[in-house]
């Protein structure tokens, strides 16, 4: 309980000093201080995802790949009072840090971290209400199997976004191959003939270099 109080006080102070995005800055710092890799989405992507969620008035969001909860907070902040977000993470330590960060952001009641291999968690899900938005940002070789489950779990008219599908142009370079590139290519290949979604890939360039995301609309 004392820990909660300290965390909350820190959060309030951080907010006062760092204004609007105080918590997000704190969260980035906490994640790095705890040895989490620096592979979260960028602030611009976070804001974009938040705008997508708001545009479609997302009430139920699923995230695959939590890390320290940075993208979770951007998305969680788009939710209405009665909205919910589930985020799937295999690494216990990442999940622990994410829960602390979500607490700092005041999102503990809306955003739940589910620990375990994401594909198992997805397969076991039978949501009463389908998701409005699903973000896939975990182990890239599993992109295709996550996408297949995401299609089952998202509502008709819902959105699936997959991050890191360009990777400095490496995905499109046929001379290169590794499990991550193959994972992305397999997904893009599968989508060519996919009648269930309409999709496009948007290139991005920002502080983490040249990459892109896939935006799919479930029919």
Q: By CB under 6 A, name the binding residues for ligand SAM.
A: 39-41, 65-67, 70-71, 88-91, 94, 117-118, 137-139
Residue 42, token pair as written in the block: 């960028």
Smaller CB distance to ligand SAM: residue 196 or 215? 215
Smaller CB distance to ligand SAM: residue 45 or 132? 45
Helix (H, G, I), strand (E, B) or coil at 162: strand
Closest separation in Å from C-beta 65 to ligand SAM: 3
Closest separation in Å from C-beta 1 to ligand SAM: 28
Closest separation in Å from C-beta 208 to ligand SAM: 11
Closest separation in Å from C-beta 40 to ligand SAM: 3
3-state helix, strand, coil in the chain (%, to 5): 45, 25, 30
Closest separation in Å from C-beta 129 to ligand SAM: 23
Closest separation in Å from C-beta 26 to ligand SAM: 14
CB neighbourhood size of 5 (10 A) = 9
Rounded Cα distance, 168 and 122, in Å: 29
Residue 84, token pair as written in the block: 């919910």
12's enclosing H/E stretch is helix 2-18
CA angle 191, 196, 197 (to 5 degrees): 60
Smaller CB distance to ligand SAM: residue 125 or 196? 125
Smaller CB distance to ligand SAM: residue 196 or 211? 211
DSSP H helical ranges for 124-208: 143-153, 179-192
Q: Is residue 171 within 8 Å of 201, Cβ to Cβ? A: no
Smaller CB distance to ligand SAM: residue 90 or 105? 90
Smaller CB distance to ligand SAM: residue 40 or 111? 40
Rounded Cα distance, 107 and 78, in Å: 11
């Amino acid at each position: 309980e004392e820990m909660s109080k300290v965390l909350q006080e820190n959060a309030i102070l951080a907010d006062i000093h760092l204004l609007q995005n105080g918590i997000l800055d704190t969260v980035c710092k906490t994640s790095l201080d705890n040895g989490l890799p620096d592979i979260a989405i960028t602030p611009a992507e976070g804001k974009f995802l938040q705008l997508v969620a708001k545009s479609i008035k997302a009430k139920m969001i699923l995230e695959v790949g939590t890390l320290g909860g940075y993208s979770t907070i951007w998305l969680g902040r788009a939710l209405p009072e009665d909205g919910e977000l589930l985020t799937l993470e295999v690494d216990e330590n990442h999940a622990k840090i994410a829960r602390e960060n979500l607490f700092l952001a005041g999102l503990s009641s809306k955003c739940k971290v589910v620990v375990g291999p994401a594909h198992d968690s997805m397969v076991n899900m039978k949501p009463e209400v389908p998701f409005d938005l699903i973000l896939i940002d975990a182990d890239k070789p599993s992109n295709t199997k996550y996408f297949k489950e995401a299609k089952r779990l998202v509502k008709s008219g819902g959105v699936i976004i997959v991050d890191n599908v360009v990777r400095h142009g490496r995905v499109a370079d046929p001379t290169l191959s590794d499990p991550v590139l193959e994972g992305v290519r397999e997904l893009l290949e599968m989508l060519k003939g996919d009648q269930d979604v309409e999709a496009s890939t948007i290139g991005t360039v920002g502080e983490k270099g040249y990459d892109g995301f896939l935006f799919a609309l479930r029919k």
